[in-house]
């Protein structure tokens, strides 16, 4: 039945010869997984300020250029310290030998080779700290809570091997703060271990067993300034070259795995959409720009910097559409009332590309802000910024939270048929919007209220330090009393140290919850309600 449905769909080619050529090439000779393979397996994770990120920017620029696009790198800023992560490993030596699953934050210290030492329980009181001082030197401290800062100082003075904390459940969430200087680099090794193994070690120590661990973490700092780039490639407009449709995603990633579904998948579909249109000989009315921003994970840094550097372009951008939701297939887009009839025409050729992979357009009262990707930067300047909806079939789909920022974000998590399908939809959509007679209308453009079918949003803009720079009108954050200048500390009682963890905890939190912020030196718990 599915084969018959597909044959019927294929038998009716689109009227537009460029779209027909895009779909033919995309179905018969998709290269999207080859792009992803090189990006994630040959280059690897692409932390902002890492050597790998620079390699990825240069490689994607060269790929765009090889297909005939005008491609370049544009520097948007620098970091004072770079960070490259090498291999890491851990094992229990005593009382039995077994491998352990660990991770460390970005921009944190490594071990400078394998370090073997006893595991000791972290002291919970001042008296326990006094008793433990003689046992801390060279030990791996198994911590269940962060403890007072004076305990951390005592660990450094005693010369511990490092501190090991439990990850939430069995997922190692990678984050980290880039706000470090070359003159004051982090020195204490801080390790996350999956919860089940951390619990096992705690119980062994509580039962007075001797526990010995060997941990090897190859983290390397680079003296900056480290130059940071966005990748820009264009198919020039034949009639309106100074007007733009922008398609893209962020090329940077966290580095606890290979950065596949966040956002290697979006980078690969952006590359493939460009290749498909170039192969089809596309000559759009207005310029189609393919952008791969970096610094997204640290607070949309690359896109925000680009906006500040090119404010004159804002009035000439028809739309910015970002693919940053993992490997599930592009299943639709939202539209304001003014955009709806236009999108129904633009996306008609891709509504039924596959009997199971439907494309739908959802009318919304305004484009939602605070979703947390680079289109938000454009929305802040009044430019139509959109985020592709993504879906799964009954038989197949990604569990995004399982891979997002975790040790499981690897190439095997990507779904080839979804990736190929998404690239075709993105290419056809870009082509259709670029050939409209006019720019997309901006009437009733934005709302800060969450829209059904999108990821849950708090409604704030902030960078990796989690200091709120903007609170959206009508958002859960505004209704809960959050203000500009507040620094977010916790969501539903769970500590958040960076944007990645903030996004994770927002999705996990109860609908009726609390947000802890620091305001004027005091910690405040504010009630926040997310809509159903």
Question: Do 442 and 298 belong together in one domain?
Answer: yes
Spell out where 401-511 has E strands: 446-447, 460-462, 468-471, 487-491, 494-495
Question: Do 263 and 379 belong together in one domain?
Answer: yes
* Residue 454 counted as domain residue: no
Per-residue model confidence (pLDDT) at position 129: 82
Residue-wise over 388-416: b if at least 16 C-beta within 10 A, else e?
A: bbbbbbeeebbebeebbbbbbbbbebbbe
Question: Do 404 and 375 belong together in one domain?
Answer: yes
For residue 488, the cross-strand partners are: 517
Residues with Cβ within 8 Å of 343's Cβ and at least 6 positions away in sequence, in order, are 333, 335, 361
Question: Do 98 and 50 belong together in one domain?
Answer: no
Q: What is the DSSP letter of 440?
A: P
* Residue 146 counted as domain residue: yes
Per-residue model confidence (pLDDT) at position 461: 73
Q: How far is CA 153 from CA 121, 149, 185, 187, 475, in A?
A: 16, 6, 15, 12, 40
| 235 within 8 A of 243, measured Cβ to Cβ | no
Per-residue model confidence (pLDDT) at position 355: 87
Per-residue model confidence (pLDDT) at position 97: 96
pLDDT tens, residue by residue, 42-72:
999 999 999 999 999 999 999 999 999 999 9
- Maximum mean pLDDT: which of 11-20, 29-38, 187-196: 29-38
CATH number where 241 lies: 3.40.630.10
Structure tokens at 231: 């990748």
Residue finishing a domain among 173, 195, 219: 219
The predicted model gives 157-162 an average pLDDT of 91
For residue 249, the cross-strand partners are: 292
Per-residue model confidence (pLDDT) at position 13: 55
* Residue 307 counted as domain residue: yes
Residues with Cβ within 8 Å of 42's Cβ and at least 6 positions away in sequence, in order, are none
Residue finishing a domain among 383, 417, 447: 447
Which residue range is the domain that position 171 belongs to?
A: 85-219
pLDDT band at 454 (very low <50, low <70, confident <90, very high): low
pLDDT tens, residue by residue, 334-391:
999 999 999 999 999 999 899 899 999 999 998 887 678 999 999 989 999 999 999 9
Predicted structure pTM score: 0.85
pLDDT tens, residue by residue, 411-442:
999 999 999 999 999 999 999 999 999 999 99
Per-residue model confidence (pLDDT) at position 149: 64
Q: Is the pLDDT assigned to residue 3 strictly greater than 60?
A: no
Question: Do 316 and 407 belong together in one domain?
Answer: yes
Question: Do 323 and 429 belong together in one domain?
Answer: yes
pLDDT band at 199 (very low <50, low <70, confident <90, very high): very high
How many residues are given for the chain?
Answer: 532
pLDDT band at 125 (very low <50, low <70, confident <90, very high): confident
Structure tokens at 355: 């009997």
Question: Do 89 and 17 belong together in one domain?
Answer: no
Q: What percent of the chain has pLDDT over 90?
A: 73
Per-residue model confidence (pLDDT) at position 285: 98
Structure tokens at 98: 């077994």
Per-residue model confidence (pLDDT) at position 465: 75
Nearest to 158 by CA among 139, 136, 129: 136
Question: Do 388 and 368 belong together in one domain?
Answer: yes
**What's the CA gap between 348 and 305, in Å, rounded?**
35
**Number of domains observed in the structure of the chain:** 3
Question: Do 232 and 380 belong together in one domain?
Answer: yes
Q: What is the DSSP letter of 42?
A: I
Q: Is the pLDDT assigned to residue 136 strictly greater than 80?
A: yes
C-alpha dihedral sign at 145, 149, 150, 153: positive
Residue finishing a domain among 219, 251, 277: 219
Question: Do 75 and 102 belong together in one domain?
Answer: no
* Residue 452 counted as domain residue: no
| 401 within 8 A of 384, measured Cβ to Cβ | no
Question: Do 439 and 468 belong together in one domain?
Answer: no
Question: Do 324 and 388 belong together in one domain?
Answer: yes
CATH number where 518 lies: 2.30.42.10
């Amino acid at each position: 039945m599915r084969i018959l449905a597909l044959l019927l769909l294929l038998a009716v080619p689109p009227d537009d010869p460029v779209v027909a050529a895009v779909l033919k090439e995309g179905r018969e000779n998709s290269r999207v997984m080859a792009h992803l393979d090189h990006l994630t397996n040959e280059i690897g994770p692409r932390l902002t300020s890492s050597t790998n990120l620079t390699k990825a920017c240069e490689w994607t620029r060269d790929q765009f250029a090889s297909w005939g696009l005008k491609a370049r790198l544009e520097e948007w800023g620098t970091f004072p310290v770079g960070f490259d992560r090498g291999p890491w490993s851990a094992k229990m030596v005593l009382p039995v030998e077994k491998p352990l699953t660990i991770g460390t934050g970005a921009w944190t210290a490594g071990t400078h080779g394998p370090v073997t030492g006893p595991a000791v329980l972290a002291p919970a009181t001042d008296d326990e700290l006094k008793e433990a001082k003689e046992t801390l030197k060279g030990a791996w401290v198994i911590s269940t809570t962060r403890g007072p800062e004076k305990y951390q100082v005592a660990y450094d003075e005693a010369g511990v091997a490092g501190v090991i904390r439990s990850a939430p459940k069995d997922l190692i969430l990678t984050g980290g703060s880039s706000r470090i200087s070359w003159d004051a680099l982090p020195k204490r090794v801080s390790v996350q271990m999956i919860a089940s193994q951390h619990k096992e070690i705690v119980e062994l120590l509580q039962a007075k067993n001797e526990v010995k661990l060997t941990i090897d973490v190859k983290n390397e700092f680079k003296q900056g300034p480290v130059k940071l780039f966005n990748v820009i490639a264009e198919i020039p407009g034949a009639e309106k070259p100074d007007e733009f449709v922008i398609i893209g995603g962020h090329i940077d990633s966290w580095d606890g795995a290979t950065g596949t579904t966040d956002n290697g998948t979006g980078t690969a579909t952006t590359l493939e959409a460009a290749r498909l249109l170039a192969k089809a000989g596309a000559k759009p009315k207005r310029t189609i720009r393919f952008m791969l921003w970096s610094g997204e994970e640290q607070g949309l840094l690359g896109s925000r910097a680009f906006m500040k550097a090119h404010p004159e372009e804002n009035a000439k951008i028809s739309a910015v559409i970002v693919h940053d939701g993992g490997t599930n297939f592009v299943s639709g887009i939202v539209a304001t009332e003014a955009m709806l009839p236009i999108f129904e025409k633009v996306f008609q050729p891709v509504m039924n590309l596959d009997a199971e992979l439907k494309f739908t357009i959802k009318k919304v009262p305004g484009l939602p802000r605070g979703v947390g990707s680079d289109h938000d930067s454009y929305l802040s300047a009044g430019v139509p910024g959109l985020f592709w909806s993504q879906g799964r079939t009954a038989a197949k789909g990604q569990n995004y939270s399982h891979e997002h920022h975790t040790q499981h974000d690897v190439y095997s998590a990507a779904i080839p048929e979804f990736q190929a399908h998404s690239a075709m939809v993105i290419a056809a959509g870009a082509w259709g919007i670029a050939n409209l007679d006019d720019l997309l209308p901006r009437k009733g453009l934005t709302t800060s209220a969450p829209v059904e079918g999108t990821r849950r949003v708090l409604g704030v803009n902030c960078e990796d330090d989690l200091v709120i720079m903007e609170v959206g009108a009508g958002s859960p954050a505004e209704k809960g009393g959050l203000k500009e200048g507040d620094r977010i500390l916790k969501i539903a009682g769970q500590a958040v140290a960076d944007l990645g963890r903030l996004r994770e905890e927002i999705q996990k939190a109860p609908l009726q919850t609390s947000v802890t912020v620091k305001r004027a030196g005091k910690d405040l718990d504010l009630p926040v309600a997310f809509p159903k």
